[in-house]
Amino acid sequence: MHHIRQNIFIAFSWSLLILAAYPQASQPSPLEAEVRKRAAAVEQKVIAWRRDIHQHPELGDQEKRTSGLVADHLRSLKMDVRTGVARTGVVGIMKGGQPGPTVVLRADMDALPVTEPAGLPFASKAKGTFEGQQVDLMHACGHDAHTAMLMGVAEVLAGIREQLPGIVMFLFQPAEEGSSLYPARTGKAWGAKLMLEEGVFKQTKPDAVFAVHVMPGPSGQISYKTGAVAASSDELAIRVTGKQGHGGMPWNTIDPVTTSATIISGLQMIVSRRADLTRSPAVITIGTIHGGTRANIVPDFVEMAGTVRTYDEAIREQIRREIQITAQKIAESAGAKAEVTVTKMYETTVNDEALTVRMLPVVERAADGRVARALLSGASEDFSFFAQQAPGVYLFLGITPRDQDPARAAPNHSPQFFVDESALVVGTRTLASLAVNFLATGGGAR
């Protein structure tokens, strides 16, 4: 009990130190009331933009219509606009009336290869090409809402730009879900990483980066977390090669199917028996498995693909090594061969503790007190790359209607994923308020 009290005291003292370093953050900016009024004024525009984008989804690196809509809007607000960033991204630069720090606000624009059920009057009927196949498209992760909200934020802040000290950079990012043109195995970068490789921050170095992601949760509630908030992501590919032969005489073959099944079981033991889960959670999921041509033939090979999610870099590297050893040794024990490729995708998204604590009062005011602590998310985000360049805060906006149980709501990436549009004004207001307060306090201590 003594140690528990001591730890609580240390944590409380640390929070006080952070707040002391940022005394201005707890006080409302004089512009907050103006932000609230202007966010309310653009609410119906945000909803209309969201419905338009939802009805016309585009895959990663193919967001030409969406980026055109965004670019035209930013130009109408008299911003410095760059298009074709990281293939289809858009960057808007808005200079305030006085010198000051730079804040970055980011939204992702891409959709998913998901078939949307009928029901919404603006439901998607769009199709696209994904890995050489024609697929149905849907904004099943809420990026349509992100793009629309940031367009609304741009209009809100453009109306008060002369009163803002500093620069606001609006990043409308393509391919957060990955490139539909260049799979990971090609080695080509996409999304946030490609934006950085092209030098998006070369001329204008940010002092802070902010983003909001819609998720199942009470509509209009903002959730936050300090430290790791989204997992790192590695793409896993395993090819198991055996010896083809007759299914009725398996003793004359080396069966890659049964070997693959044993490998999959072995991979789960890495998490349950090898990774220190008291230090950090970890997940290994095999999402696809392909092999064989007909029922009575033992195939020559089987190919599997999956994902690895971690929050701790040491555990991440340990799991990468263990996957190689486990797959190869199990295959050898069956007389087969396993070729393993683990490709790093996204880093762990880490919310800067000092900046998160500093901006929490701003979030609470913008969300009218509807704020909660977020749990760790098994999802990954390439916002992580931006947050490595400057202190970042990544928040979650609840979009489950208030008469429904968020625990029963369809998750992101589901065809049943649903956005309560009354929450969008809260997201718009929150992002705009974060920018205004960060700039008004001079960026704070670094």
The residues carrying an active-site annotation are 346, 421
Report residue 411: phi and psi, to 5°.
-80, 170
Q: Which residues pair with 338 in a beta bridge?
A: 240
Q: Which whole-number Å values give the CA distances from 118 to 19, 55, 111, 112, 400, in the listed order?
A: 49, 12, 17, 17, 19
Contacts by 404-408 with C-beta closer than 8 Å and gap 24+? Answer: 406/216, 406/217, 406/218, 407/216
Which one-letter amino acid corresponds to residue 179? S
The four Cα atoms 430, 434, 440, 444 give a dihedral, to 10 degrees, of 160
Asked if 190 contacts 212 with a C-beta cutoff of 8 angstroms, the reply is no
Phi first, then psi, for residue 274 (nearest 5°) are -115, -35
State phi, psi for 295 to the nearest 5 degrees: -65, -30
CA torsion sign, 28 to 33 to 34 to 39? positive
E-state strands within 245-318: 245-246, 282-291, 297-298, 301-310
Rounded-to-integer distance, Cα 72 and Cα 64, Å: 12
DSSP state of 189: -
**Are 113 and 128 within 8 A, CB to CB?**
yes
Residues 396/223, Cβ–Cβ less than 8 Å: yes
Please state, in angstroms and rounded to a whole number, the distance separating the CA atoms of residues 416 and 407.
14
Q: Which helix (H) or strand (E) holds 214?
A: strand 208-218
